[in-house]
Amino acid sequence: MSEGKTYALLHTIFDDSPIGLVITNVNGTIEFVNKRFCETTGFTPDDLIGNNPRILKSGWHPKEYFTQMWNTILAGQAWNDIFRNKKKNGELYWEQQYIFPEKQLRPNYPVYFHQSGR
């Protein structure tokens, strides 16, 4: 399979996943979101791409929680926890998230956010 076809296939699988997915760069800027993530949060890709996942911040977790989370991720470790986030319409919701740094695909270590609404 050519590189272009492989990319197209992976893009389709990613976008059609039943789990909401987000890709950010190492600075936390959102680079890609799939349809399920947008359905869960009420945000559009245009709302999210170029922003930081803190757009979902509910105020529930203290600043130290996020400092610890990012220190863990940037140290190359996965972070798995339940977050209380906020949808675009202001509704609060809980979700399980698995966040991990991807070290092989690109040199700037993009971070993948896997989330599933709860």
What's the gap between Cα 10 and its chain centre? 17
CATH number at residue 53: 3.30.450.20
Q: Which structural domain, as residue segments, surrounds residue 30? A: 3-117
User: Does 84 score more than 90 pLDDT?
Assistant: yes
User: Does 109 score more than 60 pLDDT?
Assistant: no
User: Does 114 score more than 60 pLDDT?
Assistant: no
Q: Which residues pair with 24 in a beta bridge?
A: 30, 111
Binned at pLDDT 50, 70 and 90, residue 111 comes out as: low
Query: Coil, strand or helix: which one is 13?
Result: helix
Question: What is the number of domains present in the chain?
Answer: 1
Average pLDDT over residues 33-60: 95
